[in-house]
């Protein structure tokens, strides 16, 4: 018999720190996303895991540190996804459009992350600010957008007076709101913005809105009236 696998645990070790830690993080992410920081209950999380509450405190110390760990994991995954967005080879207009559509898909697929971000904002990002691991989390995306904007202006495609952070904000706003506000919006207007039958249309709309703004459609009226500046 191999020494790595006791008879009592045929499908994995009964004692596995990695696995226990991972499960705690997973369950905690779901619970925090569903109930908010104060609303989530440590005891309830424990009940949803194979292990006990004792382990949450053993690995993470307290509720706040657990929440911060969840945040860090979520943001790390987003950064990974962003760095995988390969749009540099495209012409500026298509690069921005594709970036917007990829961001749309990513938001659509990571709804727990969006809820965590909403929750963080209710708390004025106090926990995010406490996290070390932040580093330059926003740098890569804005760097990418900066290069696209420069190329687009050089080619004469982009005329809007917007920097990389502005463009990132606009893309994020359109992608984020559709998920984050789906419930109140759906209740008030009778449309589930996140329903599959609307997804393609909204993805296209997101890309087109950003491109339209950058290529100057919004100033068309002013130009036609002979205004400048």
Distance, in Å, from the CA atom of 70 to the CA atom of 73, rounded to the nearest integer, reads 5
- Given 87, 115, 144, 194, the residue binding a copy of itself (CB under 8 A): 115
Identify which of residues 57 and 177 has a Cβ nearer to a copy of itself in the complex: 177
- Give contact residues for DNA (rule: CB under 7 A): 3-4, 6, 8-9, 13-17, 19-20, 40-43, 50-55, 57-58, 62-64
Choices 10-18, 49-57, 144-152, 201-209 (CB under 8 A): range interacting with a copy of itself: 201-209
Report the nearest approach of a copy of itself to the CB of residue 139 (Å): 9
Out of 66, 170, 194, 203, which residue is the one contacting a copy of itself (CB under 8 A)? 170
Candidate residues 93, 95, 145, 148; the one interacting with a copy of itself per rule CB under 8 A: 93
Report the alpha-carbon distance of residue 221 to residue 227 in Å, rounded: 9
Q: Which two tokens stand for residue 131?
A: 């996290």
Q: Which residue has the tokens 């760095």?
A: 83
Residue 182 makes contact with a copy of itself by CB under 8 A: yes
Least distance (Å) between residue 128 CB and a copy of itself: 5
| Residue 29 CB-half CA count within 13 A | 20
Contact assessment for residue 29 and residue 70, using Cβ atoms and an 8 Å cutoff: yes
Cβ burial, residue 220 (10 Å; 0-12/13-18/19+):
exposed
d(CA 186, CA 183): 5
Q: Which of 106, 137, 146, 147 binds a copy of itself (CB under 8 A)?
A: 137
């Amino acid at each position: 018999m191999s020494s790595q696998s006791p008879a009592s645990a045929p499908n994995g070790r009964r004692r596995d720190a990695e696995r226990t830690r991972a499960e705690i993080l997973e369950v905690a992410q779901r619970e925090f996303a569903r109930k908010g920081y104060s609303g989530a209950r440590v005891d309830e999380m424990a009940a949803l895991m194979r292990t006990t509450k004792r382990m949450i405190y053993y690995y993470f110390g307290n509720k706040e540190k657990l929440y911060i760990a969840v945040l860090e994991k979520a943001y790390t995954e987003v950064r990974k996804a962003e760095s995988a967005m390969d749009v540099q080879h495209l012409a500026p207009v298509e690069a921005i459009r594709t970036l917007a559509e990829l961001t749309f898909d990513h938001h659509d697929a990571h709804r727990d992350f969006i809820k965590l971000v909403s929750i963080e904002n209710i708390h004025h990002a106090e926990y995010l600010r406490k996290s070390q691991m932040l580093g330059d989390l926003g740098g890569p995306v804005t760097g990418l957008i900066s290069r696209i904007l420069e190329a687009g202006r050089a080619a004469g495609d982009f005329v809007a007076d917007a920097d990389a952070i502005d463009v990132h904000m606009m893309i994020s706003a359109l992608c984020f709101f559709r998920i984050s506000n789906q419930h109140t919006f759906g209740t008030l207007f009778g449309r589930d913005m996140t329903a599959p039958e609307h997804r393609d249309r909204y993805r296209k709309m997101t890309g087109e809105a950003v491109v339209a703004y950058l290529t100057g459609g919004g100033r068309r009226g002013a130009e036609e009236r002979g205004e400048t500046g």
